[in-house]
Amino acid sequence: MKVLMVATEAAPYAAVGGSSSVIGYLSKALDKIGHEVAVFIPKFGFLDEEKYKVSLVYEGLKVPTDDESNPYLVCNVKQAGDSGNVKVYFLENQEYYEKRANVYGYSDDPTRWALLSRGAIEFIKTGIFVPDVIHTNDWHTGIVSNYLKTVYKKDPVISKIASIFTIHNLQFQGTFDHRHVSELDFDDGKSPVANFFADRLNHQNFMRRGILYSDAVNTVSKTYSREILTPQYGEGLDRLLLEVKSKLFGIINGLDYDEFNPETDNLIEQNYSIKTIKDRECNKEALQKEFDLPVKPDVLLLGFVGRLDYMKGVDLLVRTLYPVLKDYDVQFVQVGGGDGNLSAMLQELKNAFPKSVGIHPYPNFTLPRLFFSGCDCVVCPSRFEPCGIVQIEAQRYGSVPIVRKVGGLADTVENFNSLTGDGTGFVFTDFDEFSLFGQIVRAVELYKNKPLWSKLIHNAMKSDFSWQYSAKEYDKLYERAKSFKNKKHHNSKLMEAVLG
């Protein structure tokens, strides 16, 4: 199959959120199992054309805007020369991409992503890369399938393409507050996509439209695909998702086991494998020194890696750590930037326990590897979690995850059974201090039993969440999407014949 993946970011060319890694690694994994894959993203101004050997492949792509006074935006399409078998195309436009310092955060973001979405379809019409399946990601590109089913439904080439829409995080549905929308601004998804420059475009729900018009929809874990059918996690779209449940699936994100490999990783102090786990102690010592903590090999070292966000349950973690650090000989380290209030909470925790807590409340792209190789446990107490990659990375490096049983965390971590020796981490259900406290204390006590702890680390490191498995699941989903599309097309033609 030929697959075109449309997204706002893809590693390594533009990487802000976790979805960039998904696009980068999944595309390569799909290529390995025999698909012809291309990625289509904007060409942002910070992209180093020399580094990635970028060249022009199509000049003067006219993208319709549906605005009478300014009917087209003219773009170029360029291609990376370093991407191997996976083709990576960039939509170049000075005003909307080149002159922007950041990927996100502009008042005209809906226009920028509408340009990307329709630009991808117009690019297909050039014949340079004509896919069997177009795979879109999150609200930014949700209207691709809307355009396919409406504006381009009679196009002899475009009308044959099946569409997949991946929900990486249902919480983000546009640049407006989807939880508090007036009746006047509410978008049911059935009206035409507004023109690029209309204020109405800023209030149209691209996420809703992606769900409505795509041939198949998936989330990035199986549990999350079920959770979003409920009001608690559905972000106002639970009823719609229930209506289209037959085309909704869950596929867990994967991990590149070649890049994330403790045997070869040059970002950690001491390399090791599942056969030489004792060598992890060097990394624990290096991590303790990095945060100016006492070097204590027999003290349980907890860590938090990731964005400081209430979604991640950072506030719950900090509240719980006060009684833990007060009564137990435990250390805690943190890396990752984000919310200022959460950063202040962490600073207060460090002030209260200066010899047990080390924090780095700023983004860092190399330090997390040392965390995974040196922490005894990584804590992920999320309020909700579409997938999560930290707990998978932690297991790869032998850091035992303590997680809440929600979303992708529930799919990737099995609660450890001390009697049978089965399981890969510590799991709690309720979002409260008592539940998290209980699992941390359980980890503290189990850590004293070295044979059991060694068994737990072995279990975690043996877990397989490679992209090869996920790619095969997407392969099945692409086939389903084509089947769903053909069935709809057949029913539509049959209805037309009946109505005469």
d(CA 223, CA 142) in angstroms, rounded, equals 22
Q: Where are the domains of the chain?
A: 2-254+469-499, 277-462
DSSP per-residue codes, 267-278: TSSS---TT-GG
Lowest-pLDDT range of 27-36, 178-187, 309-318, 486-495: 486-495
* 99 phi/psi in degrees, rounded to 5: -90, 10
What pTM value is reported for the model? 0.91
CATH code of the region 2-254+469-499: 3.40.50.2000
**Residue 345 tokens, joined:** 């909470």
Tens of pLDDT, residues 321-371: 999 999 999 999 999 999 999 999 999 999 999 999 999 999 888 899 999
User: Could you give the 3-state DSSP secondary structure of residue 341?
Assistant: helix
Contact call for residues 241 and 234 (beta carbons, < 8 A): yes
User: What is residue 158's predicted lDDT score, i.e. its pLDDT?
Assistant: 97
Q: How many CB atoms lie within 10 A of CB 276?
A: 12
**Short-list 156, 146, 184, 168, CA closest to 228:** 168
Crossing angle of helices 367-374 and 280-290, in 10° steps, is: 130
Confidence bin at 78 (pLDDT 50/70/90):
very high
Q: Is 218 helix (H, G, I), strand (E, B) or coil?
A: strand
Write the pLDDT tens digit of every residue in 206-228: 999 999 999 999 999 999 999 99
**Of the candidates 400, 351, 350, 349, the residue with the CA atom closest to the CA atom of residue 373:** 400
What integer pLDDT is reported at residue 489 of this predicted model?
A: 58
Q: What is the dihedral of CA 91, 95, 100, 104, to 10 degrees?
A: -70
- According to CATH, the superfamily of the domain at 277-462 is Glycogen Phosphorylase B; (3.40.50.2000)
The 3 state secondary structure assigned to 115-172 is HHHHHHHHHHHCCCCCCCEEEEECHHHCHHHHHHHCCCCCCCCHHHCEEEEEECCCCC
pLDDT (tens digit, 9 = 90+) per residue, 35-57?
999 999 999 999 999 999 999 99
User: Mean pLDDT across the chain, nearest whole number?
Assistant: 94
**CA distance between the termini of the chain:** 35
For 436-489, write each residue's pLDDT tens digit. 999 999 999 999 999 999 999 999 999 999 999 999 999 999 999 999 888 765
Nearest to 116, CA basis, from 149, 86, 93:
93
